Amino acid sequence: MAKDVGILAIDIYFPPTFVQQEALEAHDGASKGKYTIGLGQDCMAFCTEVEDVISMSLTVVTSLLEKYQIDPKQIGRLEVGSETVIDKSKSIKTFLMQIFEKCGNTDIEGVDSTNACYGGTAALFNCVNWVESSSWDGRYGLVVCTDSAVYAEGPARPTGGAAAIALLVGPDAPITFESKYRGSHMSHAYDFYKPNLASEYPVVDGKLSQTCYLMALDSCYKYLCSKYERIEGKQFSMSDADYFVFHSPYNKLVQKSFARLLYNDFLRNASSVDEVAKEKLGPFSTLSSDESYQSRDLEKVSQQVAKPLYDAKVQPTTLIPKQIGNTYTASLYSALASLIHSKHTKLAGKRVVLFSYGSGLTATMFSLKLNEGQNPFSLSNIATVMNVAAKLKSRTEFPPEKFVKVLKVNEHRYGAKDFVTSKDISLLASGTYYLTEVDSMYRRFYAQKVAEKSRCDNGSLTNGQ
């Protein structure tokens, strides 16, 4: 049996193109500060016409295999989480098989998982379960979360983003699952969904999605606490975790969510809540749960009370989501990547609680335990490989007018056939995959900016430039 199963290695890719939220705010005619302070966002990444969820996932998988020196033959399961539908039948996983087929490895289980932003977590659980199961063949699992989050013109547009993250799964990992401490909440809601298959844009009831998110959070936290308490024979509270990582559509919701956990601890009379907090939250102790979701005063007071704890336990997880926006399935894991980026030397022995939310709705809160690990599978090497600061720094800012033009082109191209892209790859880093053509049979073709040295015996991965 595999021991200490979890995440061995991570790499992240996001497009080199972004728009500043401050500029977008002015362009959209929103009041100054609405996107930056109100939503808490700094920038938003987006795909130009040469990138999409498939190219991003090809890029991130190739990069992970190269940088951690993993032979593609060592991958036994490949799972993709995505809600960006490019084909109603053919999975994104099958596009990624191009990397492995060339190395003679077609013996790879797994397909795509879809339910809004939760698909990546479902994919990750599948991989972890496989490594822990009797069907495990000793090879690695690989999870890819890839999404391009775009919204129609309107209030939801600034909550978009784009990225792909790859997570290598196996035993003796620096990031291990405490699988018994886990709570899920799944129900039927129309808060955000994509019924129009001719459009990439979702139908979204923004206010409902916020309430659904917070209700799911409460429910998952209650289940996780009660499971912990049953197993450990003592109460679980916020003080039992060093960091909390949230699905991050926009930072303000993350702030509200953490404050909500504090309110939960207050209602449960947990030891994590000090006398000052008790006094401030006291007036809200008799609210019904429905009232508590609507109370602006509770929201304000609980965020104030939670602020010092937020700075310690959540703030280090927020860099990438604030810089690239909501990346749907990749969002939670970009927050985890931010934590490793900012704190990798101080994470050994720490417990991290994650909250995954996908509209519709599916949600799970789960717990991870961190240790330094051994190279190449160490937290410090993960931070080095991800190279987050350099990737953020080397991006190119687009003014909002140009960003809107790009979205128009992509709108037009969504579901279309028989076109070639501009093949303008001047902004892409070498090694990045890009879309070249969709032919008359909707077949998509990709190339790589430079020919990477192949890790297989039989030549390079694609035709490079």
CA dihedral 128, 122, 447, 161 (to 10 degrees): -130
* 146 contacts ligand ACO (rule: CB under 6 A): no
* 209 contacts ligand ACO (rule: CB under 6 A): yes
Nearest to 255 by CA among 204, 302, 323: 302
Query: Which of 87, 97, 115, 155 is the binder for ligand ACO (CB under 6 A)?
Result: 155
Query: Which of 2, 4, 27, 38 is the binder for ligand ACO (CB under 6 A)?
Result: 38
* 206 contacts ligand ACO (rule: CB under 6 A): yes
* 159 contacts ligand ACO (rule: CB under 6 A): yes
- Please report how close the Cβ of residue 363 comes to ligand ACO at its closest, in angstroms: 10
Q: CB nearest ligand ACO: which residue? A: 38
Total residues interacting with ligand ACO, rule: CB under 6 A? 23
Collect all residues with Cβ–Cβ distance below 8 Å to 146 and sequence separation of at least 6: 53, 54, 56, 57, 60, 80, 81, 82, 84, 92, 163, 164, 165, 329, 330
* 68 contacts ligand ACO (rule: CB under 6 A): no
* 153 contacts ligand ACO (rule: CB under 6 A): no
Q: Judged by CB, which is closer to ligand ACO: 105, or 331?
A: 331
- Please report how close the Cβ of residue 361 comes to ligand ACO at its closest, in angstroms: 9
* 32 contacts ligand ACO (rule: CB under 6 A): yes
Q: How far is CA 152 from the centre of its chain?
A: 21
Q: Which of 47, 145, 247, 299 is catalytic?
A: 247
- Please report how close the Cβ of residue 27 comes to ligand ACO at its closest, in angstroms: 15
User: Would you call 456 a catalytic residue per the annotation?
Assistant: no
Distance, CA of 64 to CA of 68 (rounded, Å):
6
- Please report how close the Cβ of residue 456 comes to ligand ACO at its closest, in angstroms: 38
* 330 contacts ligand ACO (rule: CB under 6 A): no
- Please report how close the Cβ of residue 236 comes to ligand ACO at its closest, in angstroms: 25
Distance, CA of 203 to CA of 194 (rounded, Å):
6
* 37 contacts ligand ACO (rule: CB under 6 A): yes
- Please report how close the Cβ of residue 36 comes to ligand ACO at its closest, in angstroms: 8
Reading the block at residue 291, the tokens are 């009232």
Q: Which of 25, 51, 83, 299 is catalytic?
A: 83
* 190 contacts ligand ACO (rule: CB under 6 A): no
* 166 contacts ligand ACO (rule: CB under 6 A): no
* 104 contacts ligand ACO (rule: CB under 6 A): no
Nearest to 76 by CA among 100, 107, 111: 107
Query: Which of 48, 359, 378, 381 is the binder for ligand ACO (CB under 6 A)?
Result: 359
Q: Judged by CB, which is closer to ligand ACO: 191, or 240?
A: 191
Q: Which stretch binds ligand ACO (CB under 6 A): 206-214, 222-230, 376-384, 392-400?
A: 206-214
Distance, CA of 347 to CA of 381 (rounded, Å):
13
By residue count, the chain amounts to 465
User: Would you call 185 a catalytic residue per the annotation?
Assistant: no
* 33 contacts ligand ACO (rule: CB under 6 A): yes
Reading the block at residue 275, the tokens are 């006398």
* 307 contacts ligand ACO (rule: CB under 6 A): no
Q: Taking CB under 6 A as the criterion, which residues in 361-390 touch ligand ACO? A: none
CA dihedral 17, 328, 336, 23 (to 10 degrees): 40
Q: Judged by CB, which is closer to ligand ACO: 18, or 377?
A: 18
Q: Which of 43, 47, 103, 117 is catalytic?
A: 117
* 34 contacts ligand ACO (rule: CB under 6 A): yes
Query: Which of 13, 140, 181, 192 is the binder for ligand ACO (CB under 6 A)?
Result: 192
The answer, yes or no, to whether the previous bond of 202 is cis (omega within 30 of 0) is no
Q: Which stretch binds ligand ACO (CB under 6 A): 1-9, 216-224, 248-256, 434-442?
A: 248-256
Q: Which stretch binds ligand ACO (CB under 6 A): 76-84, 155-163, 333-341, 437-445?
A: 155-163
Residues near ligand ACO, by CB under 6 A: 31-34, 37-39, 117, 155-156, 159, 192, 204, 206-207, 209-210, 213, 249, 252-253, 326, 359
- Catalytic residue numbers? 83, 117, 247
